[in-house]
Structure 1
């Protein structure tokens, strides 16, 4: 549930892959490691427990020019409909999963809704919605990072040529 006076964001891409392939980008550690984090960031750990009630642990490492620091978070899954929808709460943590304070204007748990919809030509429309930001700046920074993540994900699925 969104608090009164909070800000949400929603963005997406049309991926050159059927929903089954796009789905794997969210549930397979080696796939998540390819796209999670803004441009230049890497993912040294994606320990996924993708099931309702499960919690995944992810580490996003900043590039050297941004200090090379590790940023940890968990994704706790509320609802999963294979190939169609994932609902999870993202929380900022330490490597041992203990909570840490989120950046200013960001809620302690950021609700996410991911939807995958089949499109013509074996493509998938992906939409990601995040809820509960408390400042325009926090929302804008999160959107910018998410846009870069989704650009990296889209690049995983090169356009198919007619054969």
Structure 2
């Protein structure tokens, strides 16, 4: 299953982690690890399902520490090349995994394509993330464009948590 669109992806994010590629891949693909670092700071992730294979689904629920904010999300994996590449479509969902609108913006794109590549050099791993809306309407694209700086900042925080978690796994 290789349904990667021929459209430009709008966000590029690069980060070097002080960990071997196999470990970085493992914490991206195993639920007991992924739940320990994915998502905004101050949120907890419960993994309901994680099938990392082409056509497989990740389904999880993020909740704030006070329990007042609860959001379900899913990834639908398009391409998986162990331990170097993950391609998935990310969406907000309900508890059953049905794609829904984002709770914070009715114009947020229903689907975001993410392409993650991992390259190892001297025991460190460079993660490259390319992403952007998939099949977005004009209004959805505009909502994404306005929010992109906050999205970038959120990724920084999430990847800070990933770096901390990787350090704890050595």
| TM-score for both structures, normalised by structure 2 | 0.82
| TM-score for both structures, normalised by structure 1 | 0.85
Mapped partners of 2:165, 2:48: distance in 1 = 17
Kindly state the Cα deviation for residue 138 of structure 1 after the two structures are TM-superposed: 2.2
Per the alignment, residue 10 of structure 2 pairs with 8
Kindly state the Cα deviation for residue 125 of structure 1 after the two structures are TM-superposed: 0.5
Q: How many residues align?
A: 154
Per the alignment, residue 76 of structure 1 pairs with 76
Asked whether 1:153 is paired with 2:162, we answer: yes
For residues 49-82 of structure 1, the C-alpha deviation after alignment (integer angstroms, 9 at most, x for no partner) is 1000111101111232xx6321111100111110
**Structure-2 change in CA distance of 1:42 and 1:128 (3 Å):** same
**Structure-2 change in CA distance of 1:137 and 1:105 (3 Å):** farther
List gaps (5 residues or longer) in structure 1: none
Mapped partners of 2:129, 2:100: distance in 1 = 24
SS for the counterpart of 2:33 is helix
**RCO greater where, 1 or 2, for CA within 8 Å and sep 6 or more?**
1
Mapped partners of 1:12, 1:118: distance in 2 = 13
Per the alignment, residue 125 of structure 2 pairs with 124
**Structure-2 change in CA distance of 1:2 and 1:134 (3 Å):** farther
Asked whether 1:112 is paired with 2:114, we answer: yes
SS for the counterpart of 1:22 is helix
For residues 66-112 of structure 1, the C-alpha deviation after alignment (integer angstroms, 9 at most, x for no partner) is x6321111100111110110000001101121221133453111000
